[in-house]
Structure 1
Amino acid sequence: MQITTTFRHMDPSDALKSYTEEKLERVKKYIDEPIVAQVFLTVEKIRHSADVTITAKGITIKAAEETNDMYAAVDAVVDKIERQLRRYKERIKAHKPATDSRERIVQKSIVEAESIEQQKEPVIIRTKTFSLKPMSVEEAVMQMDLLHKDFLVYTEAATESINVIYRRKDGNYGLIEPNKE
């Protein structure tokens, strides 16, 4: 497991870092290797917050907790991650995963503008690269819920076409599929 710990508005503490790493070792029983974890520990006045992002085997899980004590925040966020992983494992057992384990990497390259203020037209300020794992609609909804996102771009396992699933304002989901003509 590769763990990156970032301290914001506080002095780095080896004891807190080792405590966090020790607690995150518990997630190994839910996910196969390799696991990459990013931990952000932040102090703002009396509020202590711990944010954790775990990426492993095609899934990404995020959680954040705030308390008055940093150790309690770490405990709470790890418990939240464990609950999410347990739910994810139970859903995976209920659905048979696709046998095609190929992952496609989508990359975008952008020519940077010399100055954003000089541009009259909108420019792309941020780009995100992610891997497209072939999955079913149910798996896409599950992944979108785990990431706490409003939409997800994925590859449909059966047709290998790129689809978009999104959360509607009424709480249901919408699916955008390419025209197959």
Structure 2
Amino acid sequence: MNLKFIGQNLDVTAALKDYTLNKLERIIRHADQVISATVTFSVFKVQKKAEIDLHLSGKDIHIECLDNDMYAAIDCLMDKLDRAVIKYKEKRQPSHQTPEICTDTDTATELE
């Protein structure tokens, strides 16, 4: 998996990288086909923004979150990303079950 960190109006510190990597490990266990991820940290006047572009096989997910604290924004971002990955994974699984073949003996016992 290719992972890139970008800081806009902010220097990306080792602490931010480590915190994000620890949170991202939780999501990677749900998504087994992660190609690359780009995490962007931005600072506006008071608001801190964290966004991620996650490239899975067959889908690209873009999530962003604003907060007054960067670590809170990362927590919010990872929660949203976790839900999005689980939702994508559930949609990929077939929802229809294969019908069971009914034999004559089964129907005869049910009729009695």
What TM bracket, shorter-length normalisation?
0.7 to 0.9
Provide the aligned C-alpha RMSD in A: 1.5
Q: Deviations over 1:97-143 (max 9, x none)?
A: xxxxxxxxxxxxxxxxxxxxxxxxxxxxxxxxxxxxxxxxxxxxxxx
Matched residue SS, 1:31: coil
Separation in structure 2 between the aligned mates of residue 13 and residue 28 of structure 1, nearest angstrom:
22
**1:89-108 counterparts in 2 under 5 A?**
89-95=89-95
8 Å contact 1:3–1:21 — kept in the other structure?
Answer: no
Kept in 2, the 8 Å contact 1:63–1:80? The answer is yes
Instruction: Tell me what 2:54 maps to.
Output: 54
Q: Normalising by structure 1, what TM-score?
A: 0.50
Deviation at 1:95, TM superposition (A): 4.4
Take 1:68 and 1:94, find their aligned partners in 2: how far apart are those partners?
Answer: 41
Contact 2:28 2:34 in 1 (8 A): no
Which residue is equivalent to 2:15? 15
Structure 1: which 5+ residue stretches go unaligned?
Answer: 97-181
Greater Cα radius of gyration, structure 1 or 2: 2
Shift of 1:34: 4.1
Q: Contact between 2:36 and 2:55, CA under 8 Å: does it hold in 1?
A: yes
Residues 32, 57 of structure 1: 8 Å contact kept: no
Question: The residue matched to 1:24 in structure 2 has which SS?
Answer: helix
Aligned length: 96
Which structure has greater helix proportion? 2
In structure 2, how many angstroms separate the alpha carbons of the residues matched to 1:54 and 1:84? 10
What amino acid does structure 1 have at the position aligned with 2:69? Answer: D
Output the amino acid matched with 1:47: Q
User: Which has the larger displacement, 30-39 or 19-28?
Assistant: 30-39
In the TM superposition, what is the alpha-carbon distance from 1:46 to its structure 2 partner? 0.7
> Could you tell me how far apart the structure 2 residues matched to 1:25 and 1:35 are?
14
Q: Provide the rounded CA distance (Å) in 1 between the counterparts of 2:64 and 2:2.
A: 19
In the TM superposition, what are the counterparts of 1:1-181 in structure 2 within 5 Å?
1-95=1-95
Percent identical among aligned pairs is 34
Deviation per residue, 1:30-72 (Å, 9 max, x gap):
2223431100000111100001010021211110000000000
Which amino acid letter does the alignment assign opposite residue 88 of structure 1?
Answer: Y
